Structure 1
Amino acid sequence: MPIARSDIHELVTSYLERHPGERDLLAALLEDPATAPGATDPAAPPARVTCSAVVIDRSRRVLHIHHPATGDTPRAPGGRVAASDRTLLEAALRGLREEAGIPPGALCVTAAFLSGPLDIAVHDVEASPAEGRPAHRHYDFRFVFCLADAEADSGPGAGPGSQWLRWLPFDQVGSPTLRAKLLASGLDGVVEPVNASALIHDGQGRYLLHLRDDVPGIWEPGSWALLGGGREPQDASLEETVRRELREEAGLGPAVLEPLAVDWATGTDGLTVPVRVFAGRWSGDPATLPLTEGVMLAWFDPGTMPRLRLSPATLELVRRHAAGQPPASGRASGSSPARSVPHVVGVHLYLERDGQVLLGLRHPDSAYAGSTHHFLAGHCERESAVSCLVREAREEAGLVIDPADVELAHLVHVVEGAGAQPRMQLVFRARRWRGSPEVREPDRCLSWGWWPADALPDPIVPYARAAIEGIRAGRPYTELGWT
C-alpha cells in the first residue's frame, strides 16, 4: 500500500516551519492530500519522492556512496520508495541497508529532528521519450541518523556497494542545501535520548506497570511496560515529554519526577531508541485512572515481575531501584566509574592450524586499529554471541562454522582510556570450519594470514595479543586498562 499523501503533507508542513523560505519550492507536495496523485508512485508525475539516509558519526562526518562507473558525485545512500515501506523514514532505512549494509538497529534518530527530514532536495528530471518518461521533479527527503555505538564509526557495513562508501566532513558534502543545513545544525553524532518513560512507585515496594494493547504496529504489543512515549516537537524537555504522556495516557501528574537512568529499546522501525527514565511516587488506585491507551494499569512487586511478559531491561531497572542501587545509565559518555554502566560485547574468532593463528590486517582508514593485525571480530547486535560469531565469520572471511563446534576460549575485560566504555571481548575457538579465509570486506580488512602463536605480527591489537597469550597459558580471563 503506497504511503499516504497526507503523511507526506504532514512532514512537509512540519519541515516548512523550520524553512519557510522553501514553501514555493515544495508547493507541489502541499496539494490537497485527498485529491493529489501519489508522489511515491513512479508512474505519477510530476512530483516523485525519494528518500536518503544522512548518517553522521562522532567526527562530524557523513556517510556517502560514490560508484566511479556512474560518474555521479558522492551522495547519501537511499533511493525510491517501495510498496512495502510504511513511512518515508522506513524507505530511507531500507535504502541504507541495501546500499551500505547498515541495519536500523545500528542507528538512532537525532533529538533535534526526530523522524522529520533534515533537508528536502529538489531535482528536475528531463523528459525521455525513448523511455516513455515525461519531465518530472524529484523531491528527496533526507533523514538524519547517528550511530548508536561510537565504535561503529570504524567503517560502513557490508552491503553490495560497501567498497564505494566514504565518510565526508560536513564542509565537503556535495549537496549545497544539505551542506548548509549540516553546518548550521550543530549535529555532532552524539546520541541523545528521544523517548521518556516513568518508573512510578508507591514507596512501599510496588511499581506501576502498563499492559499494552496486543495489536501490530506498536512497540512491544501485549507486554507490560512503563508509561511513557516519544518526544514531540513541542516538548521543551524530556521531563515535559513524560509529564505529557502521563497525563494523556493515564491522567497522572506526580509532583516530582527525577531523572533515573537511560534505557535502550528497539523501535517499531528497528531503530535503536535511547529512553530517559524518570522516577516518581504515587500511591493511588490504578483502577480509578482514566486510561486512554493500553489494556490496564496495575501494581506489582519485583518478585512477581519475572512471571510477566516484560522487557528484561525494565525488570533490571526495577530491581536496582528496589535495592537502592544506582541504575545503569546506558551508553552516555562521561559516566562515573562508580555507577553501573552497560558494557559493549565484542565477539572474536580464534582459529588455530598447525600452531598458527588466523589474523587479519585492518584497513589503514579504519577508525579503530588501522594498519594493525586483529582477530576476525564484530559487535553483538540483537543476537547471541555464538550467532554473531558464525555470522561475522561468513560475512568477513567466507568461513562456514557450525555453532556446535564453537567453545569459549578466553575473555578480556578491557577499557581503553579514561572515560571509554568498558568492553567484554569474548574470544571463541572453532574446532572445525569449512572454507579458506578470503577478503570479503576490503574496506575493513586487507588480508588474512596465519601467524605462529609464539611469533605474532607487529603491530597487533593489544587485547588480541593478551587473549592469545592467555589461551596458550591456559588462563580463561584477562583484564586490561583498569586501574
Structure 2
Amino acid sequence: MPPSRAHIRELVTAYLGRHPGERPNLGPLLEALATPGEVTARSTLPGHITCSAAVIDHEGRVLHVRHNASGGKWLLPGGHVEPADATLMAAAVRKVHEETGIPPQALCQSAAFCHEPADIDVHPLDANPAKGEPAHQHYDFRFVFHLVPPSGETTVQAEEISGTDWRPLDQVTSLTTRNKLLSADVSAGPEPVNASVIIHDNAGRYLLHLRDQREGIWEPGVFALLGGGRAPGDASLEATLLRELAEEVPGVKLSGLEPYAVEETTSVDGLTVPVQVFTALWQGHPDSAGLREGILLHWSTPDMLDRSPQSPGLGDLIRRHAAQRLPAVPRLVQHHRLPAGGTPAGTELHVVGVHLYLQDADGRVLLGLRHPDSAYAGRLWHTLAGHCEREDAVSSLIRETEEEAGLILDREVIDLVHLVHSQDSPTASPRIQLFFRARSWSGVPQVREPERCVEWRWFSPKDLPDNTVPYTRQAIDAILAGQPYSEMGWA
C-alpha cells in the first residue's frame, strides 16, 4: 500500500506549523489532498507528490546527483513514490539507494527535522511526449539524513544519473532547501533521535510494553521498552522520553531518570536509528499506568524474557542492566611495585595507558562518562582509554577503541599527540599516558562496556565538563597548545 492520506496530512500539518507563511504556495497540494485519487501516483494530474533527500556527510556537505532527464542539472536524489513505499520518508530513502548506491542502513534521521520534511517544494514540470506526460506539477517532500559512516561511496544509476557531488550547505542548488538547512542546526552529525527507558522496581522486575500488531507500527506485536521518536520541538532526548510517556502512560511517574546507554536499531524505513536508553525507577501497578497506546504493560524478570516475543536486543539489554545491579563484592585494591623481572637495578616499571583524542568535524572531542561503580574515575568524563597488554601501543588503542565504543581505526591515520608522565602516589606504579589522535574512523560511538562507561558525548575542548579526569583535561589543554609532553603528581 502507498503512503496513506492521513500520514501525508500529518506531515503537511507539521510542516505548516513551522512555516505558516507557505500555506498559499502549498495551495495546489492542499487541493490535491482534498480531492479523490492517489496523490502519490505518477498518473495523478495536474500534480502529484515526489520525495527527495538531503544527505549530509560528516563534513557538512550535501549529496547532489546530475539528473539526465533534467538536462544535466544538479539536484538532490529523489523521484516518484512507488506503491510499496510505506511512508514518504521510505520513498526518499529508496531513491537515495537506487540513484547513488548508498544503502538505507548507512543513513539516519537528522535530529533537526526527525521524520518530518525539511522542505516541501512545489514546482512545474514540462511535458514529456516520450512518456506521454503533459505538463504538470511536483509537490516534492524533502527529507534530511545524516551519513552514518565517515564517508560514503556512490554508484550511480546510469539510466537516470550521470554523476554525484558533495556540496557545502551554502551551495545546495535548491534555494528553498538551502535556506532551511542553513537556518537549522544540522552540524551535529549522526546522533540519537529516539529515546527509550528501562523501568525497574528495584526488586528485579522490569516494565515491558506489548506493542500493537498493526501494519506500519515499528516492531509490531512484541514486548519492548517504552519510548519513542524525537520531534523537532523537543529540547532534549529526556524531553522526548517524558513527552512520549505522558502520551502513552500518563500514570507512570518516574524517579531517578538518568542516561544508561546508546543502542542502535533499524526503523520501518530501513534507517539506522541510534536510541538513547535511560533507566528509571517505578513501583506502581501496570493497571494504574493509564495505558493509551499498545496492548498491555507487564512486569517481567530477566529469567522470563525468553518466553515472550520481544524487540531485538531487549533481552541482552535488560540482563546487562540486571547484572550491574547485583551487590558488589568488596575487594582489596593494593598498589605495589611490579616485579623487576631482570630489569636493571633501580628501574621502576611503568603502566602504559593509551587514550583516543577524537575530534569530529566541528572540532569537538569525544569523552565517555565513567560508570559510578567503576574502579577508576567513577562519574567523571574521560577519553576512551585502556592499558597496554603484551602488544604495541597503537594496536592496544585500536583494540580498546573497538571493544569500548565499536569504532574501527586504521593505524595509518593515528598520530601520537601528547604524553603525560604521572604518578598517583609514591607507592603506586608510575604511568605513561599516551594520547593518540585518529584523523578518521568508521562507526558511531556505542556503549559496549556499560560497566565502565555509560555514555559517549562530544564536547568543545575549550569547554570541558567540570567533572573531567584531571590528567585528561591537562592533556587536552596541552594538545590545543601544541605541547607534546606534560607531567602530573611528581611534586
**1:368-411 CA deviation, whole Å, 9 max, x = no partner?**
989xxxxxxxxxxxxxxxxxxxxxxxxxxxxxxxxxxxxxxxxx
Q: State the 1:317 CA deviation.
A: 2.8
Task: Write out aligned runs for 1:168-247 (5 A).
Answer: 168-188=167-187, 190-247=189-246
Query: Comparing 299-308 with 168-177, which one deviates more in the overlay?
Result: 299-308
Q: State the 1:288 CA deviation.
A: 4.2
Q: State the 1:170 CA deviation.
A: 1.4
Secondary structure of the structure 2 residue equivalent to 1:74 = strand
Query: Comparing 159-168 with 239-248, which one deviates more in the overlay?
Result: 159-168
User: Any unmatched runs of 5+ in structure 1?
Assistant: 326-330, 347-366, 371-414, 424-483
Q: 1:64 maps to what in 2?
A: 64
Larger radius of gyration: 2
What is the root-mean-square deviation of aligned Cα atoms in Å? 3.5
Q: State the 1:36 CA deviation.
A: 5.2
Please tell me the residue identity of whatever aligns with 1:64: H
Judging changes above 3 Å, is the alpha-carbon distance between structure 1 residues 12 and 131 closer, same or farther for their aligned structure 2 residues?
same
Judging changes above 3 Å, is the alpha-carbon distance between structure 1 residues 181 and 333 closer, same or farther for their aligned structure 2 residues?
same
Task: Check whether the contact 2:195–2:241 (CA below 8 A) recurs between aligned residues.
Answer: yes
Task: Check whether the contact 1:333–1:420 (CA below 8 A) recurs between aligned residues.
Answer: no
Judging changes above 3 Å, is the alpha-carbon distance between structure 1 residues 234 and 119 closer, same or farther for their aligned structure 2 residues?
closer
**1:58-111 CA deviation, whole Å, 9 max, x = no partner?**
101011111579642211111111122222111111111111112221111111
Query: Comparing 73-82 with 307-316, which one deviates more in the overlay?
Result: 307-316
Judging changes above 3 Å, is the alpha-carbon distance between structure 1 residues 5 and 154 closer, same or farther for their aligned structure 2 residues?
closer
Distance 1:302 1:155 in 2: 42
Please tell me the residue identity of whatever aligns with 1:198: V
Please tell me the residue identity of whatever aligns with 1:200: I
Task: Check whether the contact 1:232–1:241 (CA below 8 A) recurs between aligned residues.
Answer: yes
Task: Check whether the contact 1:146–1:189 (CA below 8 A) recurs between aligned residues.
Answer: no
Task: Check whether the contact 1:194–1:231 (CA below 8 A) recurs between aligned residues.
Answer: yes
Distance 1:288 1:181 in 2: 44
Secondary structure of the structure 1 residue equivalent to 2:283 = coil
Please tell me the residue identity of whatever aligns with 2:367: G
Q: 2:89 maps to what in 1?
A: 89
Secondary structure of the structure 1 residue equivalent to 2:317 = helix
Please tell me the residue identity of whatever aligns with 2:3: I
Secondary structure of the structure 2 residue equivalent to 1:270 = coil
Distance 1:243 1:49 in 2: 34
Task: Check whether the contact 2:66–2:161 (CA below 8 A) recurs between aligned residues.
Answer: no
Task: Check whether the contact 1:6–1:33 (CA below 8 A) recurs between aligned residues.
Answer: no
Task: Write out aligned runs for 1:48-127 (5 A).
Answer: 48-66=48-66, 71-127=71-127
Please tell me the residue identity of whatever aligns with 1:334: L
Q: 2:367 maps to what in 1?
A: 334
Judging changes above 3 Å, is the alpha-carbon distance between structure 1 residues 187 and 71 closer, same or farther for their aligned structure 2 residues?
same
Distance 1:59 1:321 in 2: 36
Distance 1:338 1:309 in 2: 38
Task: Check whether the contact 1:243–1:253 (CA below 8 A) recurs between aligned residues.
Answer: no
Runs of 4+ in 1 over 4 A off after TM superposition: 67-70, 127-132, 157-163, 367-370, 418-423
- The size of the alignment, in residue pairs, is 353
Judging changes above 3 Å, is the alpha-carbon distance between structure 1 residues 185 and 285 closer, same or farther for their aligned structure 2 residues?
closer
**1:407-459 CA deviation, whole Å, 9 max, x = no partner?**
xxxxxxxx973697688xxxxxxxxxxxxxxxxxxxxxxxxxxxxxxxxxxxx
Identical counterparts, % of pairs: 49
User: Any unmatched runs of 5+ in structure 2?
Assistant: 326-359, 369-381, 387-402, 414-434, 444-491
Q: 1:39 maps to what in 2?
A: 39
Q: State the 1:306 CA deviation.
A: 4.3
Distance 1:190 1:300 in 2: 36
Secondary structure of the structure 2 residue equivalent to 1:164 = strand
Q: 1:447 maps to what in 2?
A: none
**1:245-289 CA deviation, whole Å, 9 max, x = no partner?**
223333312144212222211111111111111211112232443
2:176 is the counterpart of 1:156: no
Please tell me the residue identity of whatever aligns with 1:235: D
Query: Comparing 284-293 with 179-188, which one deviates more in the overlay?
Result: 284-293
Q: State the 1:37 CA deviation.
A: 4.4
Judging changes above 3 Å, is the alpha-carbon distance between structure 1 residues 219 and 124 closer, same or farther for their aligned structure 2 residues?
closer
**1:340-391 CA deviation, whole Å, 9 max, x = no partner?**
7441479xxxxxxxxxxxxxxxxxxxx9989xxxxxxxxxxxxxxxxxxxxx
- Provide TM-score, normalisation by structure 1: 0.64
Task: Write out aligned runs for 1:378-417 (5 A).
Answer: 417=437
Distance 1:68 1:232 in 2: 36
